[in-house]
Structure 1
């Protein structure tokens, strides 16, 4: 089903105000806001408010913003917790749990001081709840099953109601069978915009948001392994893996804000190429200006939000990714031995007599994997994939591109294509003579001698691959 962008009916039929722990009666169900769903994995345009207080909306990377209705001054939303099918990359779909047709669920945007009412309908096979991560609210609306509320049974609808008391970047997720439900993809972003100009929150030209999440889905299968604690094989942004992650398209000299939340099982050092940024906010709110300093990588721990801002003043296609190298790979076997420098072509000839499709892997590193047309199971993504203007990008997982363009129009989030590099600004092959390398012969000794010296010096021999550019071996 495609996005239904119709605004909710604004009728004011009576809806009984209920605590989070009380289900909705059949009479009140008739007045529920219409549940809007979305199945497209593309980045949807920002949802400009036409009711309630105005604000500059965010863009959810490979996601969308949930519409609302105004009911006697209350901003009402309807979340539906349900099984979903999420396309993680072209040709690769996963059976997840999420909200309103997608995982993660839609972004909720409100304004500081808004009276918010969220109807949550449970279409899962077990009870659930919603915790509003980072919010100041009444204790009974905090969404912890057994502690602050009863779980929402399958088929029932509960109401959460509170005032959005402070601006910032937050998220929502269950606190019911959390190990299963979050491993299956149940989460979403929440943005509270300031009600007026704020001394610590600058206005920006582009405002993006996404969540970091991870899955263990074996190649050829569809459902995550919920018992996995650390050994995940799919590291994703908003349940998408590169090259399925859209680029972040901005205009030259735009001030850009990117809001990132981490609901994986480990930290992620997020790194932006070509620019420096400031960390201007966390899920605790905007950071004091005295604490801000420029950096190009910021670490986001589990359960944290980080808000970064930068001036996009360098044209080009700039990589943006987690700096943990295995987090920029797709499904891969973690028990594969290192074969670099091992000559096994003779063995391969014998193996291919029994297994015709067998291929040598890792003898010269793993880059060859990106070029191999290796048979894959029906439902999976290649380990390294994505074609750039100069060939294979050899990346997967938590990787995308910030595209900065002089000609990008204000409010235009469409992909401008690859950057046309000016003449003389691309790295090139040197074909001239190479100078002799400078060597240091006066290297110092160790700080103290070893107690037992080897009987003779050990010489390490390096085997380099054939056709090594004519250099000495």
Structure 2
């Protein structure tokens, strides 16, 4: 559908498919060709060939949506549709997204741009698009039923507004959003400053990604949309470690990382080896008097956080969510803790019935990374990913910041593993004369004297109430 005639025909059938009556007649010209991308790789930054210049972002395991200029208006075409997303090698999910991906492509514009977005709905139900954090006419805000009719399946709507302020934003549905966002419908939006801004530095590397989460049973392909908290796949841009690309930088680069959270819980995002400052939110740049050095920032639900630092320490530095169960893949929540329990006898009996049975958790879970355990179709180990010294024992929301002296400006290729200079790496002690380790008997006295203690020890047993696992 690339001709003006076809578009006018479509608009007539839709019965008012334009998002607001104020949209100019220019919007009725032929639709821009939709650009589709299915690769899960991190694509190179898209430098603008038309419109105002800017320094582009790099979307982690994603890409930027191309546009066309039409009489001074920057036009994009989003297609809401079912997609197949590789979460990591060995697992694919049947999601909903935009232009072949979940999340959808990043939209990059410049402050003051007149923007027109055509949204074609190829979902089996109606949808809309909310432009999270944007200042725009009320009829373009995208809340179905409140600001506009929902976009029926098979129809195309038009959104048109001015990108009024620079910042870090996102887009997502506001129609059956519990289903549609749980299925992966979301995308990033970056508005670059038109001129030099007193609160916005020039960055050498500018990364962005969205936090999202899914509950997909092993062997299944489609998320369970009714899950509220107990997700088993915590993702960055619908990818899990080891499928998340590294963030690459040259020593001395100013690195900006923009993170948006569309999960059901907060995420303390933590970096190793560096300190950063939060320089912006979805409300705009942070005043310099409100910045301080951090190594962890909590990104709450529906928030955007923009952090910046100088990559002055070479090496391979972990970068992850600090909630420990968010750096695991496909983990169940109902397994008992068996640390210290000898179940050798039980294992032998079960093996006679189930030859592939494997006892879990007797010594902790690290052994799982070394076992070649058969898995159900289309799922991932809980902890996986090989580093230069063995298993990294991570999954989920985990990646690596790779800082190198010789990484060329603009080069985002993976430089491989860091080679540690002699004498700069932890090693096994094989000598003699270790000092004795202090024991609890040498510990100091209690902070307060115990009072009214029972004469005999009491064993407490706790049983969780049935039906409250999501609270």
Verify same fold: TM over 0.5. yes
Shift of 1:442: 6.9
Q: Kindly indicate whether the alpha-carbon contact (under 8 Å) linking 1:214 and 1:235 is maintained by their aligned counterparts in 2.
A: yes
User: Within the alignment, does 1:205 sit opposite 2:204 as a pair?
Assistant: yes
Q: Kindly indicate whether the alpha-carbon contact (under 8 Å) linking 2:7 and 2:31 is maintained by their aligned counterparts in 1.
A: no
- Mapped partners of 2:184, 2:414: distance in 1: 27
Aligned ranges 1:308-327 → 2 under 5 Å: 308-327=307-326
Deviations 1:443-468 (A, max 9, x none): 2245243213435899xxxxxxxxxx
- Mapped partners of 2:457, 2:76: distance in 1: 76
User: Within the alignment, does 1:369 sit opposite 2:368 as a pair?
Assistant: yes
Equivalent residue of 1:78, what SS?
strand
- Mapped partners of 2:109, 2:292: distance in 1: 29
- Mapped partners of 2:457, 2:97: distance in 1: 64
Shift of 1:91: 1.2
1:161 and 1:332, CA in 2 relative to 1: closer, same or farther beyond 3 A? same
Shift of 1:431: 1.1
Aligned ranges 1:329-344 → 2 under 5 Å: 329-344=328-343
Shift of 1:18: 7.7
Aligned ranges 1:82-97 → 2 under 5 Å: 82-97=81-96
Q: Kindly indicate whether the alpha-carbon contact (under 8 Å) linking 1:260 and 1:307 is maintained by their aligned counterparts in 2.
A: yes
Deviations 1:48-88 (A, max 9, x none): 00100000000000000000000000000000000000000
Root-mean-square deviation (CA), in Å?
Answer: 2.2
Unaligned 5+ residue runs, structure 2? 460-471
Deviations 1:385-421 (A, max 9, x none): 0000000000000000000001100000000000011
Partner of 2:464: none
Shift of 1:425: 1.1
Equivalent residue of 2:326, what SS?
helix
Partner of 1:432: 431
Partner of 2:355: 356
Aligned ranges 1:444-463 → 2 under 5 Å: 444-455=445-456
Partner of 1:214: 213
Partner of 1:398: 397
Count residues with an aligned counterpart.
446
Aligned ranges 1:70-81 → 2 under 5 Å: 70-81=69-80
1:455 and 1:85, CA in 2 relative to 1: closer, same or farther beyond 3 A? closer
Q: Kindly indicate whether the alpha-carbon contact (under 8 Å) linking 2:7 and 2:28 is maintained by their aligned counterparts in 1.
A: no
Shift of 1:333: 1.1
Deviations 1:125-155 (A, max 9, x none): 0000000000000000000000000000011
Equivalent residue of 1:350, what SS?
helix
User: Within the alignment, does 1:242 sit opposite 2:250 as a pair?
Assistant: no
- Mapped partners of 1:42, 1:61: distance in 2: 8
1:81 and 1:457, CA in 2 relative to 1: closer, same or farther beyond 3 A? closer
1:55 and 1:14, CA in 2 relative to 1: closer, same or farther beyond 3 A? farther
Equivalent residue of 2:147, what SS?
coil
- Mapped partners of 2:87, 2:136: distance in 1: 34
- Mapped partners of 2:302, 2:259: distance in 1: 11
Unaligned 5+ residue runs, structure 1? 1-8, 459-473
Q: TM-score, normalised by structure 1?
A: 0.91
